[in-house]
Amino acid sequence: MPDELALSATRLSPARRIIIAAFGMDLAVATVGLSVQFSGHALDATPTMLGLLATAGATAYTVLCLFTGRFSDVFGRRLLTSLACVLCAGVWLVMPFTTRSWHLLALMPLSGAGIAMFWPATQAWLAEVTRGGRKGLAANLGSFNISWTVGLMLGPPLAGVVWQFGRPAPFLLASAGVLLVLGLMRTVPTVRRQAEEPEAADEDPVDSRVAEHYLRLAWVANSASWFARGLVGVAFPKLGKELGLSEQLIGIIIAALLGGQLAMFAFLRKRTGWQYRLWPLVAAELVGCVGMMVAFLARAPLIFASGLALAGVCAGMTYVASLFYSLQGRSAGRGGRAGIHEAVLGSGMVLGPLLGGLVANYVDLRSPFLVAAAVFLLVAAVDLVMWRRTIWPTRLRDRTVARAEVAGQ
C-alpha cells in the first residue's frame, strides 16, 4: 500500500502534491479544532476554559511561526513538515483520552507548535517547485488557497458526523489523515535554488526595495482581515443566539465569510494585474469595513451573511497579497517571510477574539463589528501613509530619471 501511494503521488506534479497535502492538513486541523471544543464540553469545561483552549493553540502557532519558517530555510522543508505531521498525530492521539479540561489545555500549545512547523515550510516549498514567474506562482497559490479553505470548511461537519461514533473517533481520523499527508509530502522533491528566478518577458521588473515595501503593506492589511475573522467567530454566535437564530443557521452565516474568501481566491487564481499596486489592498480594506458595518446594522440572517461575505472577500485579497509578496522573487529567506506571514494572521486570530469578547461584554453584542470596521479604516490609512513615505518617492525618482534619459536622447 505505501508503494502504491508513492507511485500515485509521483504521477502528480510536485506543486499538486503540496496542494493536495494542504487540503488534508486543514481538514484534519479543522476536525480537531471542533472536536477539542466537544471534548471540553464533555469534560464540563467552563466557557472561559473553552476560550482558553482556542487561544492557547493560536498563541503558540503565532509565536512559533516566527521561528519555524527560518528553521526550514536552514534545515530543509522536508524535515520541518515531517516533524510537524508526526507531532500533530501524536498529540491528537492523546487528546481523546484526557480526563480533565486542563489536560487538553496543556496539549493545545503542542498542537499549535506542530501546525506552525507545517505551514511556513509548505508555503516556501510550493514557491520553490513553481515555475512560470508571477503567473505560475499566482496560479499555484490560487489552487493552494482554495484547497486549504475547502479543507477548513469540510472539517467541522466531518467532526460533527464522526463524533457520534465516540470521542476518540474524530481524533483518530485526523491523526490518520495527517500521516497520509506526511507520506505525500515525503514524495515532494527538494529544490536547492538560491538565485532569484528571472521575471517573465511580459512582466515588468520590480525594484527589490519596492517589493519589500509592498510586502509590509500586505502584512499590515492582512492583520486587519484576520483580526475581523477572529472577532466574528466570538461575537456573532452569541449575538445570533440572542436574536433567536438556530445553531445551524449561525454556522451557515459564519460560513459565508469563508465563502467570500473562497470566491476571491478563485477570482485571483489566474490574475496578475493587481500585484505591486496599492489600490487592491486599500479597496479590499474598504470592502471589509463596509462588510462589518453591514453586520453591525443587520437584523435579518441574509444581511448578516452578506456583510460577513464582504469581509471574506477582503480577507481573500489581503491573504493572497501577503502570501504572494512573501514568496515571490528571491528565494533566500523565503521560509522566514512565510513564517512572518503566518504569524501576522495568527496574531489577528488571537487579538480579534480577545478584543471582541471584551467589547461585547462591556458594551454590547453589536459593538465588536463596529470595532472591526474601525480597524479596517485605520489600517487603510496606515497603508496609504506607508506607501506615500516609502514607495511613492521611489516611483517618483524612477520617473524623473526616465524622463531625463528621454530628454538626453
pLDDT in tens, 261-309: 999 999 988 787 888 899 999 999 999 999 999 999 999 999 999 999 9
Using CA atoms, how far apart are residues 205 and 223, in angstroms rounded to an integer? Answer: 27
Of 376, 347, 357, 149, the residue nearest 255 (C-alpha): 149
The pLDDT of residue 111 is above 50: yes
Dump pLDDT digits (tens) for 133-153.
778 888 899 899 999 999 988
CB 337 within 8 A of CB 74: no
Express as a percent the part of the chain with pLDDT over 70. Answer: 89
Average pLDDT of span 106-116:
95
What pLDDT, on a 0 to 100 scale, did the predictor assign at position 194? 47
Dump pLDDT digits (tens) for 320-350.
999 999 988 666 788 899 999 999 988 888 8
Long-range contacts of 262-266 (CB under 8 A, 24+ apart): 262/146, 262/149, 262/150, 262/153, 262/312, 262/316, 263/309, 263/312, 263/313, 263/316, 264/312, 264/313, 264/315, 264/316, 264/317, 264/320, 265/142, 265/145, 265/146, 265/149, 265/316, 265/320, 266/142, 266/146
Q: Quote the cell numbers at residue 361.
A: 461584554
Using CA atoms, how far apart are residues 287 and 309, in angstroms rounded to an integer? Answer: 10
Instruction: Specify the fold of 205-404.
Output: Growth Hormone; Chain: A; (1.20.1250)
* Identical fold between 7-189 and 205-404: yes
358 pLDDT tier (thresholds 50, 70, 90) = confident
Give the global pTM: 0.84
Mean predicted lDDT score pLDDT of the chain: 86
Express as a percent the part of the chain with pLDDT over 90. Answer: 49
Handedness of CA 236, 238, 240, 245 (dihedral sign): positive
In this structure, how many other beta carbons lie within 10 angstroms of the beta carbon of residue 83?
Answer: 19
Per DSSP, the three-state class of 278 is coil
Dump pLDDT digits (tens) for 368-383.
999 999 999 999 999 9
The structural architecture, per CATH, of the domain 7-189 is Up-down Bundle (1.20)
Residue ranges per structural domain of the chain: 7-189, 205-404
What pLDDT, on a 0 to 100 scale, did the predictor assign at position 195? 46
The pLDDT of residue 51 is above 80: no
The pLDDT of residue 201 is above 70: no
Residues in the chain: 409
More confident residue, 205 or 78: 78
Dump pLDDT digits (tens) for 212-257.
889 999 999 999 999 998 888 778 887 888 888 887 788 788 889 9
